[in-house]
Structure 1
Amino acid sequence: MLFPQKLDREQFACLGRALLLAFAVWAGAVNPASASAESVTPLPCFPNQRYNDVEGKAGLCDVLLPTVDPSPSGYPTVLVIHGGAWMSGSKWTIERYSRYLAREGYATVTINYRLAPSHTFPKQVDDVRQSLVWISEHADKFHFDLERIGLFGYSAGGHLSLLVSALQDEPIETQRTASQWHSDDARWSKLPKIRATCAGGPPCNFQTLPLDNTSLAFFLGSSRRKKPATYQAASPIAHVSAGDPPVQIIHGESDALVPIKTSVAFLEAMQSTGATCELAKLPGQGHMLTFLHPKTSELMREFFAVKLRPEK
């Protein structure tokens, strides 16, 4: 079971708002970045850049740069994607991870994206792709190293990270099952290659939901019985292959919202293809507490330090 089967859309919305409130309350006390470092040298910050020409705040992103000068090739760059059950949240809810990475030598681009139920799948996936195109088009301005691009997301953001990462080496026909872009859209050729993906608490497989379960209809449009192809297209596990970039998953063992077995299944699927995937389990931690746990930021840092190698 991916999510509790009896939650309807309104209950999911209430849960999402509760999680956001908890994040806001706890963020001041649990900071994955160094408070002392933050008070010494402000990070170069370029807020509310428009990466996508959509209405409102959905197409905005924040850019944070390290305080050190870039190498000749530029900064390793991480696209950071917030959670919130695809229906709530914004870039500020995951900003501290972005600041933590910037302190460690990475440029970060933290995005808003279009939210369900007003915007259903695959618009959120295309927003992630559009932000990658924007990174490619603004590489010179912000010194992004397009050969060292990583993704980090938590919860729904973790799902979007894994999905875009797993799809990038698939045939265009498969990629278009999770996109509204036409096959001849020039943006496909502008997508930089993702080199590493880190995901916290990610839903990985919607294909195991009961056929008539409608708990994700607000995001996927209907039940799995009525839209089986959509549920498959939206499942990262359906697209794993030997050519996928290395993946690090971080998941709380006591996560009741997104049970850890979805990440275990993804790990096994990746390993069966020969792709690189690691799963870090946080004992006794639930969904929210794993997001807040210092170990999550440490594991993220260790992973990107190996896969993207920032200069210090």
Structure 2
Amino acid sequence: MGRLARGGWGLCLPLLLAGCATHLDRNGEVTTLNDVEPADHAVERLAPLTYTPPDWPEALQARVLLPDTPADRLRPAALLVHGGGWQRRSPDDMDEIAERLAQRGYVTVNVAYRFAPEHRFPAQLHDLQQAMAWIHDRADAWRIDTDRIVGVGYSSGAHLVSLLGVSANVDALAKPHGGDHARLAAVLGGGLPSDLFKFADGRLVVEFIGGTRAEKPDAYRLASPITHVDVDTPPHFLFHGRWDNLVPVDHATDFHAALVAQGVESELYLQHYRGHFTSFLMRDGAIEAGIAFLDRQLREE
């Protein structure tokens, strides 16, 4: 507190609108970002495409952006998933992030998914697994390197892409639309509910699962990414508001610790003076730091 009293507030108060953050990796605080690739690719926006087959319970669409990259090179892809408590909002929320990723050279696929309570878990995970299979089917046409597909989401969308990331190694989650098509190379997630047991049977989670923790403990465990962390879990970049009262910050700090304990690459970007919604609306450097993390993971792969 002494350092804060002597100069910390003088530094942070003028930056409240831009935000202050603590950025951690397995070795402690990250003080500088590695080089970030320039975001200068022109982008082609395709008309919305239906990614689900005709017999799917609901027709779902994807918004695809194709970067103008050299024709002789494969490129990474990003599956983007919006938040909204598993039951509202739309891909509109992820359009700006999709644009930034596409400018950076990623083919971006920004998807809708089925909503609770009409569709319970694991319907939403099955939608994302189907989206991954659809991306693989179009990999040649869109010049996608299928070993370099990442997941990007916020709130319930971050939960779903993280769950997708662990699903390939969990038999109960990997079927019927899992397998290699569901594998992600890395995850960028903000405001991520990593452990559904931490919620006191709130309406959104109960409607997503279809029951309380006492009624459906196995489903809560299955739907919590933190319970499936192992050495094969894809690298995660987590950003989270310290003042988040909807998804408390220990979802991020505990998840980061679990990832690091298994030797999984993980970075934690804690946004000071941010709640759940302001963490997303005022993302400041979180997305740039997250994209830099994704770039490093894909280069290492």
**TM-score in same-fold range (> 0.5):** yes
Mapped to 1, the partners of 2:268 and 2:145 lie a distance apart of 27
Structure 2: which 5+ residue stretches go unaligned?
1-38
Alpha-carbon deviation of 1:47? 2.7
Q: Which amino acid aligns with 1:63?
A: V
Point out 4+ residue stretches in structure 1 off by more than 6 angstroms.
none
Alpha-carbon deviation of 1:289? 1.6
When the two chains are superposed, the root-mean-square deviation of aligned CA atoms in Å is: 2.1
Task: Determine if contact 1:76/1:309 at 8 Å carries over to the other structure.
Answer: no
Q: Could you tell me which of 210, 221, 225 is aligned with 2:210?
A: 221
Mapped to 1, the partners of 2:239 and 2:212 lie a distance apart of 28
1:62 maps to what in 2? 63
Task: Determine if contact 1:136/1:190 at 8 Å carries over to the other structure.
Answer: no
Q: Which amino acid aligns with 1:69?
A: P
Mapped to 2, the partners of 1:82 and 1:213 lie a distance apart of 20
2:79 maps to what in 1? 79
2:220 maps to what in 1? 231
Alpha-carbon deviation of 1:134? 0.5
Alpha-carbon deviation of 1:85? 0.6
2:255 maps to what in 1? 266
* SS of equivalent residue, structure 1 residue 285: coil
Mapped to 1, the partners of 2:49 and 2:204 lie a distance apart of 34
Mapped to 2, the partners of 1:190 and 1:262 lie a distance apart of 28
Alignment of 1:107-122 (within 5 A): 107-122=107-122
* SS of equivalent residue, structure 2 residue 273: coil
Q: Which amino acid aligns with 1:286?
A: G
* SS of equivalent residue, structure 1 residue 102: helix
Q: Which amino acid aligns with 1:99?
A: E
Cα 1:126–1:56 shift into 2, 3 Å: closer
Structure 1: which 5+ residue stretches go unaligned?
1-36, 182-186
Mapped to 2, the partners of 1:205 and 1:189 lie a distance apart of 24
Alpha-carbon deviation of 1:193? 2.9
Task: Determine if contact 1:214/1:222 at 8 Å carries over to the other structure.
Answer: no
Q: Which amino acid aligns with 2:173?
A: Q
Mapped to 2, the partners of 1:189 and 1:266 lie a distance apart of 24
* SS of equivalent residue, structure 2 residue 149: strand
Confirm or deny that 1:275 pairs with 2:264. yes
Mapped to 1, the partners of 2:265 and 2:43 lie a distance apart of 33
Cα 1:189–1:222 shift into 2, 3 Å: closer
Alignment of 1:154-193 (within 5 A): 154-170=154-170, 172=171, 174-175=172-173, 181=176, 187-189=177-179, 191=181, 193=183
Cα 1:135–1:215 shift into 2, 3 Å: closer
Residue by residue over 1:213-245, the C-alpha shift from the partner in whole angstroms, topping out at 9 and shown as x without a partner, is 655221110111111111101000110001111
TM-score, L = length of structure 2: 0.80
2:7 maps to what in 1? none
Q: Could you tell me which of 225, 238, 260 is aligned with 1:249?
A: 238
Aligned-pair identity (%): 31
Cα 1:192–1:158 shift into 2, 3 Å: closer
Residue by residue over 1:169-200, the C-alpha shift from the partner in whole angstroms, topping out at 9 and shown as x without a partner, is 23x2x325xx5x2xxxxx54451531111101
2:151 maps to what in 1? 151
Mapped to 2, the partners of 1:253 and 1:135 lie a distance apart of 35
TM-score, L = length of structure 1: 0.78
Q: Which amino acid aligns with 1:65?
A: L
Q: Which amino acid aligns with 2:211?
A: S
* SS of equivalent residue, structure 1 residue 165: helix
Q: Which amino acid aligns with 1:245?
A: P
Task: Determine if contact 2:156/2:193 at 8 Å carries over to the other structure.
Answer: yes
1:27 maps to what in 2? none
Mapped to 2, the partners of 1:260 and 1:65 lie a distance apart of 35
Mapped to 1, the partners of 2:71 and 2:287 lie a distance apart of 23
